[in-house]
Structure 1
Amino acid sequence: MYIILTSKLGEYDARPGQGIAPVECYEYFFYGRKKADFTIAEVTADQGRVSIVETGEGGQTNSVPLKFFEHFDTLEAARAELEQLVTFGSIDARLERAPLH
């Protein structure tokens, strides 16, 4: 099973916990400006959690259970979901593959 983690620049960072392994990372650009990072991660343990860390000084951390994330049976299904997220007719939005971090 796979999930998609989103980190929005200047707002929050999604960090996989135990039982969640990043597989692919993408940078999201909107009209030429980077707005977010997406990570497709494989879930290897049902009780895994994702930490959502607010950026900036004094940012809070929330531990979110997997049940709040959409699940995909295959890596290809997760990729297709990402493509659908960035396709808005003639709007200039694109994904670029990035190294795992």
Structure 2
Amino acid sequence: MSTDATAMARALERDAGALLADYRAGMWTPSSQERGLAEDLARGHWSGSWFREGLRGAPVEVRVGRLADVLDPAASVLEEAGGFSGRAVLLLRQLLDAISPEP
């Protein structure tokens, strides 16, 4: 992985971890639309193009929210990493699983 990709993965790890911590502490509550996007992304093929397509199809309110701030760079990390399964992706999975609607 290139130095830029490593830096992006570290930033994703930090941002996904911070948003997950805020969610668990009750300091951030995702909208129902963000929850729906999280569920769609969590259940799909984890790739940069999958995440970009999900964001592109999301309502404007979602694309300007805190979740989108994490998901947008995640698309690049997933693309660059080519299946990278480090802590950044693990935290992203935990975040999306945590905020996805209950079945």
Q: Same fold (TM over 0.5)?
A: no
Structure with more strand by fraction: 1
Look at both structures and tell me which one has the larger radius of gyration over its CA atoms.
Answer: 1
Structure with more relative contact order (C-alpha pairs < 8 Å, separation 6 or more): 2
TM-score, length basis structure 2: 0.30
| Higher helix proportion (structure 1 or 2) | 2
